[in-house]
Amino acid sequence: KRENLQIQENLGNISSITGISSFGKMMKNKKLSESDLLARILAGAETIPPLVVRRRLELQAGDRADARVELGLADAATVWRFVVEAKAQSTPLAVQNAVTQARALAKGDELSMILVPYLSPERVVELEREGVSGIDLCGNGVVIVPGQLYLSRSGQPNLYPESRPLINPYRGRSSMVVRMVLSRRRWETLKDLAEAVAKAGCGLSLSQVSKAVQALQEDLIVSKREGGITLLEPVRLLDRIGDAWRKPELSGTRLLRLPPGTDWARALGSVSGLRWAVTGESSARNYTALGEGGPLRVAVDDLARAAGALGGEEEAVPAFADIELRVTDDPGTYFQVEEDVAGRRWASRIQCWLELQAGDARQQQAAGEVRAQILREVGP
């Protein structure tokens, strides 16, 4: 309460309260709490112009609402009452919980409203679909009074980026957890998931795996109940992986013409400790009817050892080469590889899809086939 009063006093010293913009500038570099957000609900403050807070009502003893307010248009006598549920986070899960709680706390003819630091365009659309009002500290939001009022605004930048367990769980080593989650609908324990990730080629601590799962839970892509992890949104998860993916960085390449009859897979497999796999692009032939011209592209983590095992002659012209070695430490390249009876290590379907979707029209068409295969394997 003392913190809330201090913030209100600070706001009172601002000569012109435009609500969202002034408050946002003052709080931009401060870690927000729910009381910080509630200080935004002051008499005279704008929500979405030209809607203003006419009055903040006093809460009765035992009232679990964060705030109850009367809102109205600047030059009109009509007011509407809202119960407000504030959350210091803007994740999909936080927004969903706020909506549920606001609905449960509405009394009589009161309408429900949520207040969070930032509402993305996607969240605004979800609120519209739910018929619940919501505002943020960045100038976005929607206010709905059925049959009387509809105000909506979105697209303003996020002044309060989330401090989440991982900067981006859909990229880098942590994204291997996300890929593994996509391989089946349910994992009984976090330990089972961590062991599967390690077996598939990427050793992560249980804490790292837990943070990745927590991020997916915040995005409403998985649920975690009674110790189990259940995949809820495989299509959205695949889209997130695709949006975050970047082509692997290469530290070297070499084109080789191999002696006739060379078993390149056996030769590479004989090198102890060498990480290698056919690239996703060249692995299309293992999953689709796409026929790629040019040399077979193989990713390795040690060019000298791989080239030494293969032998052959270095070639300058790609059309005359049998194989192209590409040096990379990208974890996704070697993750969940599928080895056939001949010992050839094909990139995973996810890696194949990622590389094909970034290619030409023919490759993108093949990427659609591989994507469908991934989703079929996850199951309905």
Closest alpha carbon to 8 in 34, 29, 30, 35:
35
Q: What residue spans of 169-302 are helical by DSSP H?
A: 175-181, 190-199, 206-218, 234-244, 264-269, 284-287
pLDDT value, residue 170: 92
Q: Which amino acid is at 222?
A: V
pLDDT value, residue 20: 46
Helix axes 206-218, 92-105, angle to 10 degrees: 50
pLDDT tens track, the chain, 380 positions: 333 333 333 333 322 334 444 445 555 545 678 888 888 888 788 888 889 999 999 998 889 999 999 999 878 889 999 999 999 888 888 898 999 999 999 999 999 999 999 999 989 999 999 999 999 999 999 999 999 999 999 999 998 886 554 457 898 899 999 999 999 999 999 999 999 999 999 999 999 999 999 999 989 999 988 779 999 999 999 999 999 999 999 999 999 999 999 999 999 999 999 999 999 999 999 999 887 778 999 999 999 999 999 999 999 999 999 999 999 999 999 999 999 999 999 999 999 999 999 999 999 999 999 999 999 998 76
Distance CA 296, CA 323 (A): 5
pLDDT value, residue 46: 82
Beta bridge partners of 376: none
- Residue with token string 């194989």: 323
pLDDT value, residue 130: 92
Q: Which amino acid is at 104?
A: A
Contacts with 47 (C-beta within 8 Å, 6 or more apart), sequence order? 19, 20, 53, 71, 135, 141, 143
Distance CA 248, CA 250 (A): 6
pLDDT value, residue 151: 94
Element (H, E) at 338: strand 338-339
Structure tokens at 202: 């990427």
Q: Look at residue 42 and give its three-state secondary structure.
A: coil
Q: Report the sign of the C-alpha dihedral through residues 371, 335, 296, 252, in that order.
A: positive
Q: What are the CB-based long-range contacts (under 8 Å, 24+) for 195-203?
A: 200/176, 200/335, 200/336, 201/176, 201/331, 201/334, 201/335, 201/336, 201/337, 202/173, 202/176, 202/331, 202/335
Please say whether the beta carbons of 251 and 176 come within 8 A: no
Contacts with 226 (C-beta within 8 Å, 6 or more apart), sequence order? none
